[in-house]
Amino acid sequence: MRPVLICPSPNFNRRLLPIDMIVLHYTGMKSEQTALDRLIDPTSGVSAHYVVFENGDIYNPVDEESRAWHAGISFWRGETDTNSRSIGIEIANPGHEFGYTPFPDAQIDALIALCKDILSRRRILAVLGHSDVAPTRKQDPGELFPWSKLAENGIGFWTNDFCQPVGSIKQMLSSIGYDTTDLNAATTAFQRHFYPEALLSDGKRTAERISAVLKGVSHDL
């Protein structure tokens, strides 16, 4: 892994829970430098533990032991304080608002190396996108993010399988960990992560893909 560049942010506080998640975001701003500047701006109210630029440079605004402010209002498997239990990684990308683009290989390679380093040091139970934990508010890192490549490197979970549903979509998504208060939003978040081609089709096999993910993950993502 290439050296991590320290760029301290004052936007953090004390964790209240053990770390057991990694949450991946895209920056969703016009430039990566603008995004980094915002994450270290004391008036912004946001931060992250790491920022990965398109060329693979990695910045570290907040120490892992501290609670960065990246997830906002969120939920996963009954817990709403995602910031306390997670390491937040921002991946530089304009996002849907400013011209969403594929993630460069150098950036994803650096992200994989960073995640592998974290996984070697911590008991991580889930590697998720921001939209997984905040489906009514967020779309990132989005349907172009290469989740399968991360899974090939031992980071998170991926499957191309379809299985016979073992319950309703709401029941299965809840069992995986999603907040299903808004079922349409939760379903779309699932599709962005585990079944992106459904966003460009009728998504008729979404329930079968949800069932396959539920069967495959059991406990960990």
Catalytic machinery residues = 90
Q: Is the dihedral of CA 138, 1, 125, 63 positive or negative?
A: negative
Q: Token match 């004391």: residue?
A: 42
Task: Let me know: does 39 contact 63? Beta carbons within 8 Å.
Answer: no
Alpha-carbon distance of 132 to 116, in angstroms, equals 21
Task: Let me know: does 46 contact 58? Beta carbons within 8 Å.
Answer: no
Q: Which of 112, 125, 142, 123 is nearest to 50 (CA)?
A: 112
Query: For the chain, what's the residue count?
Result: 221
Alpha-carbon distance of 10 to 12, in angstroms, equals 6
Q: Which of 191, 76, 94, 203 is nearest to 143 (CA)?
A: 191
